[in-house]
Amino acid sequence: MKSVTTDIYYVGVNDHQIDLFEGQYIVPNGMAYNSYVIMDERITIMDSVDIKFTHEWLDNIEEVLGEKEPYYFVIQHMEPDHSANIAKLVERYPNVILVGNVKTFQMLENFFPKAEFKNRLVVNNGDKLPLGAHELTFVFAPMVHWPEVMVTYDDFSKVLFSADGFGKFGALDVEEEWACEARRYYFGIVGKYGMQVQKLLEVASKLDIKTICPLHGPILNDNLGYYINLYNIWSKYLPESEGVVIAYTSVYGHTKEAVLELERKLKAKGCPKVVLSDLAREDMAEALEDAFRYEKIIFATTTYNSEIFPFMSDFLNRLVEHGFQNKTVGFIENGSWAPNAIRVMQNKLASAKNITYLNNHVTILSSLNEKSMTQLESMAEELCKDYVAKDEKLANKQDLSALFKIGYGLYVVTSNDGRKDNGLIVNAVLQVTNTPNRIAVTINKDNYSHHVIKQTGKMNVCCLSTDAPFSIFQQFGFQSGRNVDKFKSQEILRSDNGLVFLPKYINSFMSLNVEEYIDLGTHGMFICSVSEARVISDKPTMTYIYYFDNVKPKPQVESKKGWVCKICGFVYEGEELPEDYVCPLCKHGASDFERLE
């Protein structure tokens, strides 16, 4: 029997009989239903398996226990693929104590109305259950993805039993890449509940986790940061990969012809990835996965009965139902006499959040003509503008309109100390002359970047756009580049001066050479010439006001007295704030604090 640790054993099963998981998801490589046994003074079984595998599961348990009996049976999730054999277990081991929360036992009675479960232990969020050497802590995770769900942390073995979290499609006796089927599983089953997943990740971040044991898919014990980072991206509904998805339906082939033409144009203009989804023929869950994975999507369909083709209608409904947001969206419509598809598609997406619509859409009257081909060209140019700007060969590196992006905004200034790349958040960037072009950048002397730039004489200034998340400010503003590598495990793009520029969340960047330095006491001002300038997108520059109103989380200041940092929300609890006080998080001084009333 497979061991997870020296005293935790896997007793789950593989299902190759199933064709549709939950009656809708195609699973060509089957499914795994995972269950675990913790061998200790009080032997504990974690969850059950699907009803089709009663005897195989009980055989697996008996192989581990031998003549011993389980003391506890922990019910993390009441979905039948994990709970169907509870009654069978109690028949085999009548003294076992069932462990669950109030909602667990309400559902247990619904699923087993004729059964009597006398031995029950009701637990609350945060409760601990000693088993001997092991001690379990229960963390409630409501709506991830049922209301009764809880996960369990074993402090002794540093194991997180994660319920359906970090699960994937596919049986364990089939080798396949984790991310693809885990992503399809997540967005199909859990995706609607991103906020709840974020809350669970916040709790998990405070635990010392060495192994993750999900209820589906493989046990995870290597490179856990990779899996947790993906869950963080997915649950924040952030784009995971650069590229364009074209989801389409086509009746007689004319819409498909336009889609293929757009694909050719996108590839010619440097689009890193183009994914086509024929919604009438391909797995809808796969199409859903791609729509959430990539940053841009084109919907192409026909006007049909004054609405849109049924497969497209279904697809859009699924996207909105699962929390579709934070995307760049464009439309291609086809109609022989009264094209109406764009209006219908826009209406269906009306409730989706943070959607940026392209300026260029395409209308086809039956088949492509010169006008619609021109519209396709304009759409391809708009979709690829940022890709071209980031491409070493295709970019216009002297696009001085990048300087027009400068305002009283927020910027990431990058540099390199000869060993690693560095970056910091600044707010003082100003164009001081235009003949010749000169940019002034003011940096606090306490920042490591000030030291590096004074030595090297060069920097890149990346103009943050309004889609930049708070994590960017945490990454570049709340830690020192002397102590950490701020670009570790990040996608790296470089300008001609060899320095990094951000691959996303910016609308432009400028490569600067220091021509003059002015000592301002606490700060230093670098007067710079421009060696390279690229415009990445037309998104607005992130201003201070926008950051405060829309990006920075509201500080938790209830019942606290003192001073709050306007930059990061750190609260200094004290009657008087020292004049020389520096925020321990973002390193801003006392002038950026305000009194809590």
> Using one digit for the tens of pLDDT, what is the confidence trace for 437-464?
899 999 999 899 999 999 999 999 999 9
Q: Whole-angstrom Cα distance, residue 75 to residue 203?
A: 20
Answer yes or no: is pLDDT of 408 > 90: no
Q: What average pLDDT does range 500-513 have in this prediction?
A: 95
Question: In this structure, what token pair is assigned to residue 446?
Answer: 């306490």
- Mean pLDDT value across the chain: 92
What pLDDT is attached to residue 548?
82
Residue 50 corresponds to which amino acid? D
Write down the pLDDT at residue 6: 94
With 0.85 as the threshold, say if the pTM is over it.
Answer: no
- Six token digits for residue 66: 């031998």
Higher pLDDT, 566 or 528: 528
Q: How far apart are alpha carbons 246 and 361 in whole angstroms?
A: 13
Total count of residues recorded for the chain: 597
Which residue type occupies 376? L
Helix (H) or strand (E) holding 226: helix 224-235
Please tell me whether residue 448 adopts helix, strand or coil conformation.
helix
> Mean pLDDT across the stretch 218-247?
94
**Residue whose C-alpha is closest to residue 31's, from 165, 168, 161:** 168
CA distance 332 to 324: 19
Cα distance between residue 19 and residue 455, in whole Å: 63
User: Binning pLDDT at 50, 70 and 90, where does residue 490 land?
Assistant: confident
> Could you give the count of Cα atoms lying within 13 Å of 542 in the half-sphere of its Cβ?
28
Show the CA angle centred on residue 529, arms to residues 524 and 530, nearest 5°. Answer: 120
Which of 499, 521, 503, 523 is closest to 428 using CA atoms?
Answer: 523
Q: Residue 400: what pLDDT?
A: 83
Structure tokens belonging to residue 283: 């797995």
Instruction: Tell the burial category of 95 from Cβ atoms under 10 Å away from its Cβ (0-12, 13-18, 19+).
Output: exposed
Query: What digits encode the pLDDT tens for the residues 52-63?
Result: 999 999 999 999
The answer, yes or no, to whether residue 1 has pLDDT greater than 70, is no
Q: Give per-residue pLDDT as tens, 8-21.
A: 999 999 999 999 99
DSSP string, 203-215: HHTTS--SEEE-S
Residues 6+ apart with CB under 8 A from 47: 34, 35, 36, 74, 75, 76, 77, 82, 83, 161, 215
Instruction: Answer yes or no: is pLDDT of 347 > 80.
Output: yes
The Cα-based distances of 367 to 184, 278, 344, 379, 565 in angstroms read 34, 18, 20, 17, 59
The full DSSP string for 379-434 is HHHHHHHHHHHH-TTT--TB-GGGGGG-SSB-EEEEEE-SSSEEEEEE--EEEEEE
Helix (H, G, I), strand (E, B) or coil at 523: strand
100 secondary structure, DSSP code: E
Residues of the chain with pLDDT > 90, as a percent, come to: 76
Question: Does position 222 have pLDDT exceeding 60, yes or no?
Answer: yes
Q: Are 81 and 34 in contact, with CB atoms under 8 Å apart?
A: no
For the cut 80, the answer to whether the pLDDT of residue 296 exceeds it is: yes
Burial of 370 (0-12, 13-18, 19+ CB in 10 A): exposed
The b-or-e profile of 340-350 (16+ CB within 10 A means b, else e) is bbbebbbebbe
Contacts of 516 (CB under 8 A, 6+ apart): 526, 527
Q: Select the more confidently predicted residue: 332 or 394.
A: 332
CB half-sphere exposure, 296, CA atoms < 13 A: 22
Is 557's pLDDT higher than 60? Answer: no
Residue 558 pLDDT:
59
Which residues, listed in sequence order, are joined to residue 440 by a DSSP beta bridge? 430, 527
Strand partners, 333: 301, 363
pLDDT at 407 over 80: no
pLDDT of residue 304: 87
- Measured CA distances, 553 to 297, 331, 449 (Å): 29, 34, 26
SS3 of residue 573 by DSSP: coil
pLDDT tens-digit profile of 77-121? 999 999 999 999 999 999 999 999 999 999 999 999 988 899 999
* Selection from 42-56, 539-553, 576-590 with the highest mean pLDDT: 42-56
Could you tell me the two tokens for 527? 């007067």
Over range 383-402, report the average pLDDT: 88
Percent of the chain with pLDDT over 70: 99
Q: What is the 3-state secondary structure (H, E, C) of 41-64?
A: CCCEEECCCCHHHHHHHHHHHHHH
Q: What is the pLDDT of residue 306?
A: 83
Contacts of 268 (CB under 8 A, 6+ apart): none
| Main-chain dihedrals φ then ψ at residue 445, nearest 5 degrees | -65, -25
**Distance between terminal CA atoms of the chain?**
62
Residue type, 421: D
Q: State the average pLDDT over residues 347-375.
A: 94
Mean pLDDT within 554-570: 73
Decide if pLDDT at 556 tops 70.
no
Question: Which tokens in the block code for residue 136?
Answer: 């379990």
Residues 6 or more apart in contact with residue 211 via CB below 8 angstroms: 4, 5, 157, 158, 159, 160, 219, 220, 221
518, 527 Cβ separation under 8 angstroms? yes
Strands 437-444 vs 523-535: parallel, antiparallel or unpaired? antiparallel
